[in-house]
Structure 1
Amino acid sequence: MNFGFVGLGNYSQNHQRAMEQHEDYNLVSVYDVVPDNARKVADRFGSSVAESIEALASDPVVEAVVITTPNAQHFSDFKTCVTNDKHVFVNVPVTTSIEEATQMIALAKKHNVVYMAGHNLRKNPAIIYLCDKLSTGETGSLHAVEASVGGPAAYALTPDNWRYHLTQAPLLPFAQMSVVFIDLILHLMGAPETVSAMMAKRDAPGETPDHGTVISQYADGRLAYIGCSYISQLGYEITFVGSEGKIKWDNRDDNSVTLITPGGQDWKSFDCIDEQTEELAEFVHCIENSTPPSCGGIDAYNVASFFDAIERSIDSGSHAKFREFSG
């Protein structure tokens, strides 16, 4: 499979590493707005450096494109690649706009290409185990979800980083930190009825908010809470609370899952895997077999709709209705 990479910043290094795990994957073309970034990656992989994303997307040798540009650029980069009939993998959040998310689904369908969204937490063996346990009903009827995610990256932001600027990252703590939990909750619990959110600025540099809280409510009374911070110690944890027990994943505790029921407590740790390697393998499999990915356009739309509701809730100071995909 011949790949093109668009956007070669820090996160792209994960997919570059994943490329090296597959001898039959070839990184044939790269593009970045910073020429030095492109040259370094091209030298590493023996790739050509495209003069523009249009040049990369129109290259007949390129079969599939991995997009890891800043969030606000995803839609235009996606459109350029898909309209040139390239299969596309997009880092998350794919978009925070439901209008863009809707167009992306339509474009991928029109051009008959694979469109995969990079919600890689679903690949984690601990999360797979947690999902299996929830599906068996061991915790009883699911009532609520409580999630917390944090990291100190906001303290290192400088004006040359797009996350520093409010126009480029208006939902920074949610879009950068909690997006994987938003996807997981939507995946397991479905669409909520309403979303209530708030963001605030503490003491990190830059224009963007650095922490926030969101609560989603379901028509049947279930609740899901996410607290996210770009100014705290790194850690991800999520707990699903049911009528007969609860189950928790904590990435700081040996990537572990703890199941607590009236019968006792069961703790299991799981080896960490290279989630980006797993993602690329699935992406290629879908291309070669003309099958849909486990996380595609509808999933990206649902996350975008959640972000849309967050933004409307913050603007109004009240809850906002979740807008489901209408086709």
Structure 2
Amino acid sequence: MTLGWAVISTGRHAENKIAPAIHAAPHAELVAVCSRDQQRADAFAERHGALAAYDSIESVLQDSRVDAVFIVSPNALHASQTIQAARAGKHVLTEKPMATSVEDAIAMIQVCRQHGVMLGVGFHLRTHPAHLEILRVLQQQALGTIALLNGQWGFGARGQVMPPPRPPLQQWWEEPELIGGASTMMGTGVHVVDLYRFLLGQEIVELTALADGQTPNQPLEQLLTMSLRFEDGPLATICCGRRLPDSLNDLVIYGSDGRVASRGTLWEAREGSLEIVSETVNTTADYPHAFLANYIDELEDFYYAVTEKREPAATGLDGLRAVEVTLAMITAAREKHTVKIERHTP
């Protein structure tokens, strides 16, 4: 059995990662693609071997071969497209951020629940074997009491002080309403936030943020640092940005009995290394470059979540929690003070 997928939007992420990963996943089939432009949809379908191409989500949802949709559209469209798909009986895996408001995220969870369909969020870092090993070590309390987490996901080009304007079909990334009021936080910061929650099993209770944007003259940030406090006491930092050529995209966690460091694992591809140094566990591991591996495992996990009727690796609630933190970051950066996180029950 395979899950019949429709990819909503034919942008770079769908082109380079999602459609190829669907082809590579053992239990996935690319049934349909959707673009506002029929010619773009047709060309995408031809390149990736999709069975059908549509220029509206309504047409996609009428295709009985489609079991699930992977939403890769501009952030502000995720909620409405998820709700449409759920009402049509289709399972939904949406890219992060799940939504651009708490109200939309809650509506997505509620409608999917009401219609009995699965809702997952594309936090692919949860599938990296280095992070799964860190989770196992933390659950065994091999590092003792966790004190501090440091994570960075950045990129850039040497010689560029600021990133250049995006090409026309990617310019929604530069429109605050479509992207959701934040730039590099939406691109990579939310992944690190979610990974911290996944590894610690704790919620963030407050944060502060400094950014090179979130001002009237520069509404969207291209460089961001955050300091976080978790409910049981650990502190954390996150740095993300598009102004960081040669960025060391590492995660380091310090506990009372040791340290774990994953080098180069905060990235799209599966790669990097892991070092654990503690009283009881001392080990290293290397991960050969595998560009699609995290996305393939994300799709396979979703297939088993649907067929086994269990939660996916990252749920709608996980997506909601990331939205709450993102909105708090925007407030903290704009108003220059610490913000307590308000958690909502969907």
Q: Same fold (TM over 0.5)?
A: yes
Q: Would the alpha carbon gap of residues 23 and 215 (structure 1) be closer, same or farther in structure 2, given more than 3 Å must change?
A: closer
Query: Is 1:287 equivalent to 2:299 in the alignment?
Result: no
Q: Would the alpha carbon gap of residues 262 and 64 (structure 1) be closer, same or farther in structure 2, given more than 3 Å must change?
A: closer
Q: Do the aligned partners of 1:298 and 1:325 also contact (CA within 8 Å) in 2?
A: no
Residue 18 of structure 1: aligned partner: 21
- 1:257-277 CA-partner distances (Å, limit 9, x unpaired): 122336896432124551111
Query: Is 1:326 equivalent to 2:345 in the alignment?
Result: yes
Residue 195 of structure 2: aligned partner: 184
RMSD: 2.4
Residue 76 of structure 1: aligned partner: 80
Residue 240 of structure 1: aligned partner: 253
Structure 2 residue corresponding to 1:100, chosen from 101, 104, 116: 104
Residue 176 of structure 2: aligned partner: 166
Residue 256 of structure 1: aligned partner: 273
Query: Is 1:193 equivalent to 2:205 in the alignment?
Result: yes
Structure 1 stretch displaced more, 218-227 or 135-144: 218-227
Q: Do the aligned partners of 2:302 and 2:313 also contact (CA within 8 Å) in 1?
A: no
One-letter amino acid of the structure 1 residue matched with residue 183 of structure 2 = L
Residue 5 of structure 2: aligned partner: 3
Aligned pairs (5 A) from 1:1-327: 1-13=3-15, 14-22=17-25, 25-44=28-47, 45-152=49-156, 155-158=163-166, 160=168, 161-169=171-179, 170-189=181-200, 190-201=202-213, 208-233=220-245, 234-251=247-264, 255-261=272-278, 266-273=283-290, 274-327=293-346
1:47 Cα shift? 2.3
Structure 1 stretch displaced more, 265-274 or 178-187: 265-274
What is the DSSP-based 3-state SS (H/G/I as helix, E as strand, rest coil) of the residue aligned with 2:24?
coil
Identity %: 21
One-letter amino acid of the structure 2 residue matched with residue 197 of structure 1 = A
Q: Do the aligned partners of 2:98 and 2:319 also contact (CA within 8 Å) in 1?
A: yes
1:36 Cα shift? 3.8
- 1:45-72 CA-partner distances (Å, limit 9, x unpaired): 1422213112212323321111111212
- 1:8-54 CA-partner distances (Å, limit 9, x unpaired): 11111312111222466332221112444311222131422213112
One-letter amino acid of the structure 1 residue matched with residue 188 of structure 2 = M
- 1:279-299 CA-partner distances (Å, limit 9, x unpaired): 111212222232221211111
Structure 2 gaps, min length 5: none
What is the DSSP-based 3-state SS (H/G/I as helix, E as strand, rest coil) of the residue aligned with 2:12?
coil
1:252 Cα shift? 6.8
Structure 1 gaps, min length 5: none
Q: 2-side partners of 1:159 and 1:187: how far apart?
A: 34
Query: How many residues in Structure 1 have an aligned counterpart in Structure 2?
Result: 324
- 1:225-268 CA-partner distances (Å, limit 9, x unpaired): 10111111254211111112211111179611122336896432
Q: Do the aligned partners of 1:79 and 1:107 also contact (CA within 8 Å) in 2?
A: yes
Q: 2-side partners of 1:187 and 1:24: how far apart?
A: 25
- 1:64-100 CA-partner distances (Å, limit 9, x unpaired): 1111112121111111111111111111121242111
TM-score scaled by length of structure 2? 0.86
TM-score scaled by length of structure 1? 0.91
Q: Do the aligned partners of 2:24 and 2:296 also contact (CA within 8 Å) in 1?
A: yes
Q: Do the aligned partners of 1:159 and 1:165 also contact (CA within 8 Å) in 2?
A: no
Q: Do the aligned partners of 2:298 and 2:313 also contact (CA within 8 Å) in 1?
A: no
Q: Do the aligned partners of 2:27 and 2:300 also contact (CA within 8 Å) in 1?
A: no
Q: 2-side partners of 1:297 and 1:323: how far apart?
A: 17
Q: 1-side partners of 2:145 and 2:13: how far apart?
A: 38
Q: 2-side partners of 1:24 and 1:182: how far apart?
A: 29
1:224 Cα shift? 1.1
